[in-house]
Amino acid sequence: MVVGSVLVTGGTGYIGSFTALALLEADYKVVIVDNLYNSSKEVLNRIELICGKKPAFYEADMTDEAALDKVFAEHPDIDSVIHFGALKAVGESGEIPLEYYRVNVGGSIALLRSMTKHNVTNIVFSSSATVYGDATRFPNMIPIPEHCPIGPTNPYGRTKSTVEAIITDHINAQRNNLTKKGEPGAEKWNAALLRYFNPSGAHPSGVIGENPLGVPYNLLPLLAQVAIGKREKLLVFGDDYASKDGTAIRDYIHVLDLSRGHLVALNYLREKSPGVKAWNLGSGRGSTVFEMIKAFSDVVGRPLAYEVAPRRAGDVLDLTANPTLANQELNWKTELTLEDACADLWKWTENNPEGYNQQPPKEFVDALKK
Ligand SMILES: NC(=O)c1ccc[n+]([C@@H]2O[C@H](COP(=O)([O-])OP(=O)(O)OC[C@H]3O[C@@H](n4cnc5c(N)ncnc54)[C@H](O)[C@@H]3O)[C@@H](O)[C@H]2O)c1
């Protein structure tokens, strides 16, 4: 039995593919839109390997409103969207900000317009802890609660806070307009702004993981490339922060916990009609870069080369979540640790050094068939 139908933008990407899997496992029908800018269609086969179901797929650009219209027209059963499709490299966003605004903000406006035409009323948005910026500028805001004032320090973060504002204004306007006209259905318009901390890890089966097409931007995938010899060393940006070892503090959340967070947020919107809600999805545990290098080296079983470089513009000292609101309202909390994430990432990388450009080891596939 299908419990509902969801459009997943950016659904062949890292977090999108895990969320598509979680939705299928929970008996949602899944339709993916992605332009494959940073992902591979092969992940659709891997999803099917794990759960026996394959999402529908459209190769289309987020900014192409007519293409989105066509997808909704062909799937009138869709009532919700989980919106991942975006550019996501903080450093690059400082070099080509217009492109970031065009895709992230422009793509979201095209999506909301198309959703509205087709009466698709729930949206779960991939926001980021980056929207908070430097939370140490206020007293008592580490770990960061949702009421911490927004103040991104780079263009990427500003695209995310801008889209949060656009979604909030639109959902509230839809509710108000319907109420004013005395028409039914105002409560159907809902949004979840999910502020992720640092997603990491891979599927424990070893057949799905992060597969960036260019240079990865996150610490753990870079470290994994060092471990398989694809990269000589890791650059550690700044060892003069006010942390215990001088490196920046982040909250690493296993991608399986994160994808489950999307499922429970979507269910909450569809069942409770709360209007617009923001939730932090993090573990509440902060780790420094040096601690992460140690944790991943322990899993690999040997030291990994790194070099300290100057701080990067737009980076902040500490992004650790206070996940209490999601714990209480969504009844969601992380169940896996960063050690689990390191172990699963290593299993994925060591056995699939070419990512989706190679077939996974036969014994992994056989294990899934049992
Ligand atoms: N990974 C992180 O550390 C992190 C942290 C916080 C928030 N996020 C957000 O989560 C979302 C997913 O991130 P991810 O890590 O899975 O990245 P990803 O690059 O793996 O996934 C993004 C997907 O969007 C697609 N895409 C990009 N531009 C598009 C366009 N114009 N039209 C259609 N599809 C397009 C890409 O091909 C890719 O499949 C993004 O919105 C990102 O900003 C990621």
To test the ligand 1 pocket, which listed residue (31, 38, 43, 111) has its Cβ within 8 A of the most ligand atoms? 38
Cα dist. 199→24, 45, 98, 165, 235 in Å? 20, 23, 26, 23, 19
H or E element at residue 78: strand 78-83
pLDDT of residue 1: 87
pLDDT of residue 217: 82
Question: Do residues 287 and 338 touch, judged by C-beta distance below 8 A?
Answer: yes
Q: pLDDT tens for residues 168-222? A: 999 999 999 999 999 999 999 999 999 999 999 999 999 999 987 888 888 999 9
Give backbone dihedrals phi and psi of 198, rounded to 5 degrees, phi first: -95, 100
Average pLDDT over all residues of the chain? 97
Q: How far apart are CA 354 and CA 17, in angstroms?
A: 18
CA of 127 to the centre of ligand 1 (A): 10
What are 321's strand-pairing partners? 144
**CA max distance for the chain:** 67
CA of 9 to the centre of ligand 1 (A): 9
pLDDT of residue 313: 85
What are 6's strand-pairing partners? 30, 80
pLDDT of residue 334: 98
Give the confidence band of 56 by pLDDT, cuts at 50, 70, 90: very high
pLDDT of residue 314: 82
CA of 38 to the centre of ligand 1 (A): 8
| Mean pLDDT value of segment 135-149 | 96
Q: Which residue minimizes the CA distance to atom 40 of ligand 1? A: 84
Residues tagged active-site: 156
Q: pLDDT tens for residues 247-272? A: 999 999 999 999 999 999 999 999 99
CA of 146 to the centre of ligand 1 (A): 22
Across 84-145, the runs of DSSP E, i.e. the strands, are 122-128
pTM of the predicted protein model: 0.98
Res. 274: pLDDT tops 90: yes
Helix 219-227 and helix 289-300, axial crossing angle in degrees, nearest 10: 40
Cβ neighbours around 348 below 10 Å, total: 26
Give the confidence band of 63 by pLDDT, cuts at 50, 70, 90: very high
Question: Do residues 125 and 83 touch, judged by C-beta distance below 8 A?
Answer: yes
Q: What is the DSSP pairing of strand 249-250 with strand 287-288?
A: antiparallel
What are 370's strand-pairing partners? none
Q: Which residue minimizes the CA distance to atom 41 of ligand 1? A: 84
Which are the contacts of 155, defined by CB distance < 8 A and separation ≥ 6? 93, 94, 97, 100, 101
pLDDT of residue 308: 97
Res. 326: pLDDT tops 80: yes
Ligand 1 pocket, Cβ-based, cut-off 6 angstroms: 10, 12-16, 34-39, 61-63, 84-88, 103, 107, 126, 128, 196, 198-199, 218
Q: Tell me, what DSSP letter sits at residue 225?
A: H
pLDDT of residue 177: 98
CATH classification of 4-369, choosing from 3.40.50.300, 3.90.870.20, 3.30.70.240, 3.40.50.720? Answer: 3.40.50.720
pLDDT of residue 215: 82
Cβ neighbours around 93 below 10 Å, total: 22
Q: pLDDT tens for residues 13-48? A: 999 999 999 999 999 999 999 999 999 999 999 999
To the nearest 10°, the Cα dihedral for 16, 108, 115, 213? -30
pLDDT of residue 268: 98
